[in-house]
Amino acid sequence: MAAEWGYSPTNGPDVWARLFPQAGGARQSPVDICTSIASSDSNLEMKKLTFAYESQSDLRILNTGHGWKVEAPQSGSRLEGGPLGEDIYQLEQFHCHWGETSAEGSEHTVDGRAYAGELHLVHWNTTKYQSFAEAAQHPDGLAVLGVFFDVGNESNDEIEKIVSTLSEIKFKGQFTDIPDVIDPTTFLPSGLGYWTYLGSLTTPPCNECVIWIVYKEPITVTEEQVTYH
């Protein structure tokens, strides 16, 4: 039985490639975003990144063992423009990465700085592929919006709708429904500047199938919202 991958010295990112060959690839995520060498691309400014989401209630939230994931397939959603060429991407799910303390937890870092957490809004290329699983096998298959969490005094009402259900799914594999209406648009920061690069899933099997779009501006959450155990 293959050892469960994780983040310890014996099963963490440094040894993932033994079990998951793609983890040793040339476009692996996450990365440290060095703002001094990030170049601005006039093409991206010409093709504005646009998104449209639906509000949904009764979304299923799952304890993945590495965080929470909300299944949110939205055939009426659209993410397009910016680095996504002419293709339309559709929301599939969103999930969160956080750490033991609010001093760390994000997957990407900015000039070596980690944030308290990072929300990933996951989309797949419905122009070219027939399913999410198929899209995850192609270099332009997925587009993930990354939003950093900064810890502050004001809680985020939309995140609260999610974390308020976590007491019901304390263990890996447990799931429950979120009764409230969730609008993914509210997770995005007001400033819509972003960094983008071609990367991969940040966890095994580390497929190199993700166009990453990481917003520069974090959203504010409270300590409780991002360091629950």
Q: How far is the CB of 116 from ligand VZ5 (least distance, A)?
A: 16
According to CB under 6 A, which one of 63, 106, 202, 227 is a site residue for ligand VZ5? 202
- Rule CB under 6 A: is residue 207 a binding residue for ligand VZ5? yes
According to CB under 6 A, which one of 84, 119, 122, 219 is a site residue for ligand VZ5? 122
Region 91-150 residues binding Zn ion, contact defined as CB under 5 A? 120
Length of the chain: 229
- Rule CB under 6 A: is residue 211 a binding residue for ligand VZ5? no
Region 142-181 residues binding ligand VZ5, contact defined as CB under 6 A? 142, 144
- Rule CB under 6 A: is residue 72 a binding residue for ligand VZ5? no
* CB 49, CB 84: distance < 8 Å: yes
The site that binds ligand VZ5 (CB under 6 A) totals a number of residues, namely: 12
C-beta atoms surrounding 156 within 10 Å: 20
* CB 118, CB 105: distance < 8 Å: yes
**Contacted by 3, from ligand VZ5, Zn ion, none: CB < 5 to 8 Å by type:** none
The site that binds Zn ion (CB under 5 A) totals a number of residues, namely: 1
Burial (CB < 10 A; 0-12, 13-18, 19+), residue 193, is: exposed
Q: How far is the CB of 107 from ligand VZ5 (least distance, A)?
A: 6
Q: How far apart are CA 161 and CA 149, in angstroms?
A: 16
Q: Rank residues 69 and 161 by Cβ distance to ligand VZ5 and give the closer one.
A: 69
Q: How far is the CB of 66 from Zn ion (least distance, A)?
A: 9
Q: In the block, which residue shows the tokens 């939205």?
A: 74
Stretch that binds ligand VZ5, among 18-26, 178-186, 202-210, 220-228 (CB under 6 A): 202-210
- Rule CB under 6 A: is residue 203 a binding residue for ligand VZ5? yes
Q: Which residues of 103-140 are buried (b: 16+ CB within 10 A; e: fewer)?
A: eebbbbbbeeebbbbbbbbbbbbbeebeebeebbeeeb
Q: In terms of DSSP H, where are the helices of the chain?
A: 16-19, 42-46, 132-135, 157-163, 223-226
* CB 88, CB 127: distance < 8 Å: yes
Q: How far is the CB of 120 from ligand VZ5 (least distance, A)?
A: 4
Burial (CB < 10 A; 0-12, 13-18, 19+), residue 191, is: exposed
Q: How far is the CB of 154 from ligand VZ5 (least distance, A)?
A: 26
* CB 85, CB 104: distance < 8 Å: no
Q: Which residues are catalytic?
A: 66
Query: Residues interacting with ligand VZ5, by CB under 6 A?
Result: 120, 122, 133, 136, 142, 144, 201-203, 205, 207, 210
User: Applying CB under 5 A, which residues contact Zn ion?
Assistant: 120
